[in-house]
Amino acid sequence: QVGDSCSAARDCGVGLYCGDCAAAGRTRPSCIRDLAIQPTTIVKGLPFNRYSWLVTHNSFSIVGEPSRTGVERVTFYNQEDTVTNQLRNGVRGLMLDMYDFGGDVWLCHSLQGQCYNFTAFEPAIDTLKEVEAFLSENPTEIVTIFIEDYVHAPMRLSKLFTAADLMKYWYPISEMPTSGQEWPTVTDMVAKNHRLLVFTSDASKESSEGIAYQWSYLLENESGDPGIDPSACPNRKESQPLNSRSASLFMQNYFPTIPVESEACKENSVGLPQMVQTCYAAAGNRIPNFIAVNFYMRSDGGGVFDVQDRINGLTLCGCNTIAACQVLGHQRAHARTLEHLIELPLL
């Protein structure tokens, strides 16, 4: 079980691996979670914005990823396993930095809005094909992609998603709620096959290519070091204030400006729960629909998975964890949600 001593992954149960967290003072190897519980499998059929989902920051910036340009890469890394594995482990949101590079769209962890051969990872279509394969194999799952957009060639992003065969899952802008209204239920989204939400940081792409401008539909706290200081939870400058009701989705960033792999287990176990509570208050008692972290599997036991479970449990049925929730009908779930948001602290 979580926290039990181990010497290898085989000593731990399903959804666990054997690791340690020296940064938090746990040097003895123990079983640590690496698998999320999807809240929609327990409390079903609610609007999309009632749930909390796990997001990986710079999902493509993977430790040990071989260079595709023939030049040694010089950049920071944020994750440890493939995008396919992230999705299999329950990640449902991907942050992807897209650039014009070599006549194509590449994923780069770069600077000054330009991709270089020493900051490039891979053509974006390779990662998007991983997403397509996952959606094809899992017909009830919904994935959200957040593009940090440095692509300037006209229609290049639209052509990219078409080439990756992802348009059949596309959630159209025309059906995205505005002015803070509720999203459709996950049941309706699956029935219509609207299972891929894509947001861009480039406002012009909404009218030119039909890709939703992120901050028209989403509130977001500041990223980097300001987003991990538990004394405050400022909004990102592009976002409306977190307590605004102009949008019904809320993204909480929780990762330092400079990622340190060995420190992530402490950040995800100790700092994240504190920061979720701070941002919950700053957002006017609104849960984060997306929790974005570095090295998502690293913790001293439960980490981001436990935080997500507790948020979903408390808000969806008033339980301390989503696993304790009973399957509720729409009306009962709605009533319990309102009741417990008033009566219970989030974490």
Euclidean distance between CA atoms 65 and 77, whole angstroms: 10
| pLDDT averaged over 10-residue windows placed end to end, the chain, 347 residues | 95 96 95 97 95 98 97 97 98 98 97 95 98 98 98 97 98 95 97 98 97 98 96 97 96 98 97 97 96 98 97 94 71 44 50
Judged by DSSP in three states, 74 sits in coil
pLDDT at 339: 44
Backbone dihedral angles phi then psi of residue 335, each to the nearest 5 degrees: -65, -45
Predicted pLDDT of residue 326:
66
Calpha distance 6→32 (Å, rounded): 10
Structure tokens at 118: 């020493």
Specify the pLDDT at position 330: 38
Query: Token match 């094909």: residue?
Result: 129
How much is the pLDDT for 204? 97
Pairing mode of beta strands 290-293, 249-254: parallel
Q: Which two tokens stand for residue 224?
A: 């980097």
**For the chain, what are the domain ranges?**
1-34, 36-324
Residues 158 and 146: their CA atoms lie apart, in Å, by 15
Specify the pLDDT at position 347.
65
User: Which helix H or strand E contains 331, and what residues bound it?
Assistant: helix 330-343
* Fold for the domain defined by 36-324: TIM Barrel (3.20.20)
